[in-house]
């Protein structure tokens, strides 16, 4: 199915990353293990950096919140680097969309990108689509649970080159959770456009439902390896950005 964005009044294409612009395998088999194996040493060697200290404070607050809600996390992460590492691993095992975790992961990945150990992966149709939309006057923005820094480094380092000049905004969970309609309202406000002029593309139907509740137009991304979505029939679907013209 080919969707003509101009016919739908689209002014901004808002893209998820995992399972939409980027293979899930890159996130789960490359980025997550890279961060996991480096947490302990990274905390030891970067403890004086402001963002690392901020991540630790956030994680300590999240740990207290876990205890208050009856969870059983590892021991207090403020006690030692080993305790903080154990809590980070515990959060990763649960695929928690934790702001503190995402900030810390982003800082670890930053080291990897700088050292040339990591390079952003995208589907082959992504770079041509970004250029096509940009040429047509349609802005492109990203909304991912990964930190803004992690998003920037991914799109800076692709095999197609630095794609960040084609992006008008990078949004992470500081605007809110991806399953909350209010998050998409904040993004529309930040971009200065009406929600109905934004097309959100994601592989997760719950995110699409939240975006639609906020007035955005939505499309379900069907990439290889994506998890089946029970609500698939409720959405227009695309297998490639070539279908979004």
What CATH number has the domain bearing residue 144? Answer: 3.40.50.1000
Q: Name the residue range of residue 94's domain.
A: 27-115
Q: Does residue 135 sit in the same domain as residue 238?
A: yes
Where on the phi/psi map is residue 237: left (φ > 0), alpha (ψ -120 to 50), or beta? beta
Determine how many CB atoms are found less than 10 A away from the CB of residue 130.
Answer: 24
| Distance between CA atoms of residues 47 and 27, nearest Å | 25
Instruction: Write down which residue in 79, 95, 115 finishes a domain.
Output: 115
Q: Does residue 143 sit in the same domain as residue 89?
A: no
Q: Does residue 233 sit in the same domain as residue 185?
A: yes
Instruction: Write down which residue in 68, 89, 115 finishes a domain.
Output: 115
Q: Identify the CA nearest to 142 among candidates 155, 131, 133, 129.
A: 155
- What is the per-residue pLDDT for 2? 85
Q: Does residue 162 sit in the same domain as residue 221?
A: yes
The encoded tokens of residue 6 equal: 């101009």
What digits encode the pLDDT tens for the residues 109-128?
999 999 999 999 999 999 99
What digits encode the pLDDT tens for the residues 126-155?
999 999 999 999 999 999 999 999 999 999
What digits encode the pLDDT tens for the residues 174-187?
999 999 999 999 99
**Is the pLDDT assigned to residue 16 strictly greater than 80?**
yes
Q: Does residue 184 sit in the same domain as residue 231?
A: yes
Task: Kindly state the percentage of the chain with pLDDT values over 70.
Answer: 100
Q: Does residue 48 sit in the same domain as residue 96?
A: yes
Instruction: Write down which residue in 86, 115, 144 finishes a domain.
Output: 115
């Amino acid at each position: 199915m080919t969707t003509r964005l101009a016919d739908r009044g689209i002014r901004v294409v808002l893209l998820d990353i995992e399972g939409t612009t980027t293979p899930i395998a890159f996130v789960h088999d490359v980025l997550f293990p890279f961060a996991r194996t480096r947490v302990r040493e990274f905390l030891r060697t970067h403890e004086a950096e402001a963002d690392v200290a901020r991540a630790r404070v956030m994680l300590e607050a999240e740990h207290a919140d876990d205890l208050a809600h009856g969870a059983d996390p590892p021991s207090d992460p403020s006690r030692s680097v080993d305790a903080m590492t154990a809590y980070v691993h515990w959060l990763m095992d649960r695929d928690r969309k934790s702001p503190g975790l995402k900030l810390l992961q982003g800082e670890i990945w930053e080291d990897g990108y700088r050292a040339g150990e990591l390079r952003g992966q995208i589907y082959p149709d992504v770079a041509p689509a970004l250029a096509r939309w940009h040429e047509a006057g349609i802005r492109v923005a990203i909304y991912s649970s990964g930190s803004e820094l992690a998003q920037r480094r991914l799109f800076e380092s692709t095999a197609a080159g630095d794609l960040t000049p084609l992006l008008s905004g990078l949004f992470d969970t500081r605007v809110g959770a991806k399953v909350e309609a209010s998050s998409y309202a904040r993004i529309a406000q930040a971009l200065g456009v009406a929600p109905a002029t934004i097309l959100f593309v994601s592989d997760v139907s719950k995110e699409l439902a939240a975006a639609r509740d906020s007035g955005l137009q939505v499309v379900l991304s069907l990439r290889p390896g994506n998890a089946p979505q029970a609500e698939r029939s409720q959405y227009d679907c695309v297998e490639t950005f070539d279908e979004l013209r």
